[in-house]
C-alpha cells in the first residue's frame, strides 16, 4: 500500500515537472514579448536609456537564436540615444492636424500635381500613407516611390529626354534599404533629396533623411538622418523647403490618431546649429514643436497663392464667395441639427420633452438672424459683381471658382494652409527597357543570328556549321543561337556559339551535329584571329575564365524575392544593382565555376526573367 502511494506521488511529481518544462518556453516567450513591449513604450516616450536597458536584459536572458527581435529593438534605442547628441532647435511657425488620406494637398506645392495611386508610376498605396504621387507639370526629372516584387517601396528616378521619359531606375544603392522609402522630394535648387525611410539608420517608424548631390562622383551621397526634432520614434515623412526660401514643412503622426497627421511649419534654417540634449523632458518639449507665441509672426499669409487672385478686386470677390458659402453651410448644419432634435422630441417624455421643446424654440429664434446674415453676404457679393461690370473687368470664372473652392485652414494663426486639388492620372511616354542580346549557346524553336559578328577579346572556341556562296536564312541554321557570319572570299562562313573552354565547346559539338550539321567542326580564335585548336588548348592551360551573370528585370526595376533567395542559396557572391543605358541590371559575379553560372542563369529563366545572360572574361 505504501509502495503504491509512493509510486503515485512520484508519478504525479514527474508529470508536474514535465508540464512545467512544457510550459516554460511559452512563459518565457510571453515574458520576452511583454518586456519588449515595455521597451517599445519607453522608446516612444523618448526614454531611450530605459528602452536600451530593458533590451539588454532581454538579450542576456535569451539564447543566440532568439535574440534577433530584441537586438532590433536595442538598435533603435541606441540610435535614439546617439541622435540626442545632434539636435536642432528650429523656430516653429505653425502646426495643424489633417486627415491622413489627403494631408499632402495642404502643402505649398504646385496645384493639380498630386496624382492618386494607383497610377502609371505607382500601382499600390502604402497602408494609407502614400496614396498619391507628386508629378508636377513641366518637370524634367521625376522622383517617386513604388513597390518591388516583394511589396517593398524603393525610390525610382526617370528623366525626360526629347519626347519620352527614360526607363525608371533605382536612384542608387545608398538610398535603397531592406524596408520602405517613401515621399522623395527634390529641393528647389535640385541639390538635395529629402525622403522618409524605415530601413536606414533610425529610431523606429519612418525617419526623415537628406542626401546631397556629389558633383565629383556625379551621384547622390550617403543619406543622413535629419535627427531631432524632424525625426522621432514615430512616423515622420514628406519634408520640403518652400520655393520662396521661407519655410521648412514636414508631416508626422507623433501627436495624432492613426487616421490623422500633423503638418509642422518651421522657419527655414540653412545652417542649423546642433546641440546635445540629455534631459528627456527637454527633448520631448523640442519634439512637440509648439509654435512660438510671437505676434509679429502672425502675418496670416498663405504659402499657396490662390489661383486667379493676383489683384485686390479678385481677392475681394473670392473672399465674398467664401463668406456666402460659409453662411450657407452653417445654416444647413443648423437646420440638420434642428431636424434631429425634432425627431427626438417625437419619442421624448416628461422633463426631456420639455427641455427639447425649449431648446428647439431657442434655436428657431436664431434662424432669422442667420438668414439675414446670408442675405447681407449675398448682397455684398452682388455689389462686387456689379462693380466689376461697371469697370469692364472680365473674370475667369473657372479660376475664381477653383480659388473659392479651396479649403482654408489656420487663417487666425501665423500661417494659412490652402488646400490644392488632385491632378489627373499621369500619362507619360516611358521608354521600355532595352533587351540585350543573349550570346549564351542555345537550341531554340527558331534560330537567331548574332546581333554583332565581332568576336570578343581573348580565347574563344566556336562550332563551324557550314559555308556557302549565299547568305543563310533563319531556316538554314535549324534553331541554333547565336550564329555568327563572316565572309571568306565569295563564301559566307557560319559558326555557332561562343565558348571559353575546349571542354565546353566539345560538350556541345554533338548537339549541333544532331541538329543536322554532320560536318560541324571546332574552331578557335585569339583576340578575333583564327588559331589552331591545339594551340588554343595550350593557351587555355594558362588562362583563367571568370563568369558574370547579368539580368535585366522583367518589370524594369527589381527581381522577385523568391529568386533572390534562390541565388543567395547558390552563391555567397554579392548581387550588384546598376544602370546601363538607362536600364536597371543585376550582376552576380565574378564566378569561377561555369556550372554555377549556368545554375543561376537557369534559376532566372525559370522565374520568368528571360532577359538574362552570362558574360565571360579571361584572366592570364
User: Quick check: 14 pLDDT over 50?
Assistant: no
20 or 400, which is more confident: 400
Question: Please, which pLDDT band fits residue 612 given cuts at 50, 70 and 90?
Answer: confident
Three cell numbers at 449? 543570328
Query: What is the per-residue pLDDT for 379?
Result: 84
User: Quick check: 390 pLDDT over 80?
Assistant: no
217 or 255, which is more confident: 255
- Reported as type and span, the H/E element at residue 495 is strand 491-499
Cell 426631456, residue? 352
User: Quick check: 173 pLDDT over 70?
Assistant: yes
- Backbone CA torsion sign across 145, 259, 223, 218: positive
- Reported as type and span, the H/E element at residue 225 is strand 224-225
Of the chain, the percentage scoring pLDDT greater than 90 comes to 39
- Most confident range (mean pLDDT) of 244-258, 322-336, 435-449, 474-488 is 474-488
CA distance 504 to 461: 9
Question: Please, which pLDDT band fits residue 407 given cuts at 50, 70 and 90?
Answer: low
Q: What is the DSSP string of 329-361?
A: HHHHHHHHHHHHHHHHHTT--HHHHHHHHHHHH
Query: What is the per-residue pLDDT for 366?
Result: 82
Please enumerate in sequence order all residues whose Cβ is within 8 A of that of 43, keeping only pairs 6 or more positions apart, or say none: 51, 73, 76, 77, 80, 203, 204, 233
CA distance readout (Å), 382 to 66, 378, 387, 393, 402: 74, 6, 9, 14, 19
Query: What is the per-residue pLDDT for 581?
Result: 64
CA distance 465 to 449: 13
**Tens-place pLDDT, residues 218-256:** 889 889 999 999 999 999 999 999 988 899 999 999 998
CA distance 201 to 192: 18
pTM: predicted TM-score of the whole model, two decimal places: 0.58
**Tens-place pLDDT, residues 429-446:** 888 776 678 888 999 999
Amino acid at each position: 500500500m505504501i509502495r503504491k502511494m509512493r509510486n503515485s506521488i512520484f508519478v504525479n511529481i514527474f508529470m508536474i515537472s514535465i508540464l512545467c518544462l512544457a510550459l516554460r518556453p511559452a512563459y518565457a516567450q510571453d515574458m520576452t514579448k511583454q518586456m519588449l513591449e515595455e521597451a517599445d513604450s519607453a522608446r516612444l516616450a523618448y526614454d531611450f536609456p530605459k528602452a536600451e536597458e530593458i533590451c539588454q536584459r532581454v538579450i542576456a536572458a535569451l539564447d543566440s537564436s532568439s535574440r534577433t527581435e530584441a537586438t532590433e529593438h536595442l538598435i533603435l534605442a541606441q540610435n535614439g540615444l546617439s541622435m540626442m547628441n545632434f539636435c536642432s532647435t528650429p523656430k516653429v511657425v505653425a502646426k495643424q492636424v489633417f486627415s491622413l488620406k489627403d494631408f499632402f494637398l495642404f502643402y505649398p506645392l504646385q496645384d493639380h500635381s498630386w496624382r492618386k495611386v494607383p497610377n502609371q508610376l505607382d500601382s499600390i498605396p502604402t497602408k494609407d500613407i502614400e496614396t498619391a504621387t507628386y508629378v508636377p507639370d513641366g518637370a524634367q526629372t521625376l522622383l517617386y516611390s513604388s513597390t518591388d516584387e516583394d511589396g517593398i517601396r524603393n525610390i525610382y528616378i526617370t528623366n525626360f529626354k526629347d519626347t519620352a521619359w527614360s526607363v525608371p531606375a533605382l536612384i542608387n544603392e545608398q538610398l535603397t534599404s531592406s524596408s520602405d522609402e517613401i515621399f522623395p522630394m527634390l529641393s528647389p535648387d535640385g541639390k538635395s533629396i529629402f525622403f522618409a525611410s524605415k530601413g536606414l539608420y533610425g529610431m523606429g517608424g519612418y525617419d526623415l533623411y537628406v542626401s546631397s548631390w556629389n558633383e565629383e562622383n556625379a551621384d547622390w551621397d550617403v543619406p543622413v538622418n535629419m535627427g531631432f526634432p524632424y525625426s522621432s520614434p514615430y512616423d515622420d515623412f514628406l519634408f520640403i523647403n518652400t520655393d520662396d526660401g521661407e519655410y521648412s514643412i514636414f508631416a508626422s503622426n507623433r501627436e495624432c490618431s492613426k487616421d490623422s497627421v500633423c503638418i509642422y511649419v518651421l522657419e527655414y534654417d540653412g545652417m542649423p546649429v546642433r546641440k546635445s540634449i540629455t534631459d528627456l523632458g527637454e527633448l520631448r518639449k523640442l519634439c512637440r514643436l509648439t509654435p512660438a507665441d510671437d505676434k509679429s509672426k502672425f502675418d496670416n499669409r498663405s504659402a499657396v497663392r490662390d489661383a486667379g487672385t493676383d489683384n485686390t478686386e479678385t481677392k475681394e470677390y473670392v473672399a465674398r464667395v467664401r463668406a456666402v458659402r460659409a453662411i450657407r453651410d452653417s445654416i444647413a448644419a443648423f437646420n440638420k441639427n434642428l431636424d434631429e432634435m425634432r425627431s427626438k422630441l417625437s419619442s421624448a417624455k416628461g422633463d426631456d420633452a420639455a427641455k427639447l421643446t425649449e431648446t428647439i424654440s431657442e434655436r428657431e429664434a436664431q434662424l432669422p438672424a442667420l438668414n439675414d446674415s446670408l442675405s447681407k453676404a449675398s448682397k455684398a457679393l452682388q455689389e462686387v459683381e456689379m462693380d466689376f461690370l461697371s469697370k469692364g473687368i472680365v473674370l475667369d470664372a473657372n479660376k475664381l471658382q477653383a480659388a473659392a473652392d479651396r479649403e482654408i485652414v489656420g487663417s487666425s494663426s501665423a500661417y494659412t494652409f490652402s488646400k490644392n486639388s488632385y491632378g489627373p492620372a499621369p500619362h507619360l511616354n516611358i521608354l521600355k527597357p532595352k533587351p540585350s542580346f543573349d550570346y549564351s549557346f542555345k537550341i531554340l524553336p527558331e534560330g537567331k543570328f548574332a546581333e554583332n559578328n565581332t568576336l570578343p577579346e581573348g580565347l574563344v572556341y566556336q562550332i563551324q556549321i557550314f559555308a556557302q556562296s549565299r547568305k543563310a536564312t533563319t531556316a538554314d541554321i535549324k534553331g541554333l543561337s547565336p550564329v555568327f557570319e563572316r565572309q571568306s572570299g565569295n563564301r559566307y562562313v557560319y559558326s555557332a556559339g561562343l565558348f571559353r573552354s575546349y571542354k565546353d565547346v566539345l560538350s556541345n559539338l554533338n548537339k549541333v551535329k544532331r541538329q543536322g550539321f554532320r560536318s560541324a567542326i571546332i574552331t578557335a580564335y585569339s583576340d578575333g584571329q583564327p588559331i589552331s585548336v591545339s594551340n588554343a588548348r595550350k593557351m587555355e592551360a594558362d588562362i583563367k575564365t571568370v563568369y558574370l551573370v547579368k539580368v535585366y528585370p522583367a518589370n524594369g526595376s527589381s527581381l522577385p524575392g523568391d529568386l533572390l533567395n534562390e541565388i543567395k542559396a547558390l552563391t555567397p557572391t554579392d548581387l550588384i544593382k546598376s544602370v546601363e543605358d538607362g536600364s536597371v541590371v543585376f550582376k552576380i559575379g565574378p564566378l569561377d565555376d561555369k556550372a554555377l553560372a549556368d545554375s543561376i542563369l537557369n534559376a532566372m529563366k525559370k522565374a520568368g526573367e528571360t532577359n538574362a545572360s552570362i558574360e565571360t572574361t579571361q584572366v592570364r
